Amino acid sequence: MRRGAAGRAFQVKKPDESKYKYDYYKIITTSPGEQAFRPMSDGNCPLVKG
């Protein structure tokens, strides 16, 4: 299990919504890591021994 990693979906802001330098995205939703990513043991990567 990956801890602390959350999946996030972003939307690009309209120019008038940006208030600061580099203020380009707004978070639409956040999913906990266990929902956003499959377990590493299910990935079938030969470099990961799970």
d(CA 5, CA 20): 26
The total of structural domains in the chain comes to 1
Residues of the chain with pLDDT > 70, as a percent, come to: 88
Domain assignment present for 43: no
pLDDT at 25: 96
Does the model's pTM come out above 0.75? no
Domain assignment present for 16: yes
Domain assignment present for 19: yes
Domain assignment present for 40: no
pLDDT tens-digit readout, 14-48: 999 999 999 999 999 998 877 778 887 888 888 87
Domain assignment present for 46: no
The residue segments making up the domain with residue 26 are 7-32
DSSP-derived letter for residue 48 is: -
Domain assignment present for 38: no
Question: Residues near 50 by Cβ (< 8 Å), separated by ≥ 6?
Answer: 39, 40, 41, 42, 43
d(CA 20, CA 36): 29
Beta strands in 1-50 (DSSP E): 7-12, 25-31
Return the bridge partners of 29, or none: 9
pLDDT band at 1 (very low <50, low <70, confident <90, very high): very low
Domain assignment present for 47: no
